Amino acid sequence: MALRLAQVEQAIGDEYLTKRLWASAPDPLPHQLSALLAANGLRVGIISGPLPAEFDALATGATTAIAPTLRRGLAGQPKVIPVNGPFDRLTADVIDTLTGDPRRLSLEAAEFALTALGTLRPSGPMVVKFQWQTQYGDKRAFWTPTADGGFDRTDERPKEGFPALAFEVDLEPADTLVVGPTMNPEGTLGAAFFVTTDGLRQRVLVVRATAGK
């Protein structure tokens, strides 16, 4: 499986990234999940076929396409897609259910990423599941049990995931997935994942998936 990745970056409030792009990228998700993502300042769309000329120029521009990469690997193995951070300190409200109250997330040295897990079908589109996650703070020692009754130590930074916000999409070779913030993401996960640490620019993640190497 191969993922072609880039982030398109423009100033906060840019009309194209906040409005016109999403008019050409229908939401592929169930309504309830879309509503939950929107409550967290996030949205997802798919562009089928050629990219609109304005978006294609942004997605390939030397100053607007951030860190374009090609990630290769086996289907069934998750791939980490870094998208934002580190923030010296970040506070955001997280909504895990549409009927629940928000919980406050307060982190230091936080970095944000998505993981993509692709599954190949005998025929038809590739299925890709995306999970949201953050790692933060200083490294800590974690102990995991071993088969012989002992423990292995690993030193790593704490992580937190947001499983209620995971989403799965079918991607044809000609499809382009776009993931980004809603129009007013301040104080939400949308800002944590897609508004730059200086608070002046916003980003949209661009993903194309193929079964080839």
pLDDT at residue 154, as a whole number: 63
Q: Is residue 67 part of a domain?
A: no
Which pLDDT tens digit goes with each residue over 112-127?
Answer: 999 999 888 777 788 9
Q: Is residue 49 part of a domain?
A: yes
22 assigned to some structural domain: yes
Token pair belonging to 73: 């690997």
CB 77, CB 187: distance < 8 Å: no
Residue 144 belongs to some domain of the structure? no
The residue with greater pLDDT, 151 or 176, is 176
Count of alpha carbons within 13 angstroms of residue 194, beta-carbon side: 34
Q: What angle do CA 23, 24, 30 make, to 5 degrees?
A: 75
* Predicted pLDDT at 82: 94
What are 4-45's pLDDT values in tens digits? 899 999 999 999 999 999 999 999 999 999 999 999 999 999
pLDDT score recorded for residue 47: 97
Its domain, for residue 22, covers 11-62+74-139+154-210
Give the contacts of 171 (CB within 8 A, at least 6 positions apart). Answer: 46, 125, 126, 127, 128, 177, 207, 208, 209
Q: How far apart are CA 110 and CA 159, in angstroms?
A: 9
Residue 81 domain flag:
yes
- What percent of the chain clears pLDDT 70, i.e. is strictly above it? 92
pLDDT of residue 68: 81
pLDDT of residue 116: 94
Separation of alpha carbons 18 and 23, rounded Å: 10
Mean pLDDT score, 79-108: 95
- Structural domain count, the chain: 1
Judged against a pLDDT cut of 80, whether residue 181 lies above it is answered with yes
Per-residue confidence (pLDDT) for residue 140, from 0 to 100: 60
What pLDDT was estimated at residue 69?
85
Q: How high is the pLDDT of residue 12?
A: 94
Q: 87 lies in a domain?
A: yes
Is the per-residue pLDDT at 102 higher than 80?
Answer: yes
pTM of the model: 0.88
Q: Encode pLDDT of 69-78 as tens digits.
A: 877 766 678 8
Q: Comparing 148-152, 198-202, 205-209, which segment has the lowest mean pLDDT?
A: 148-152
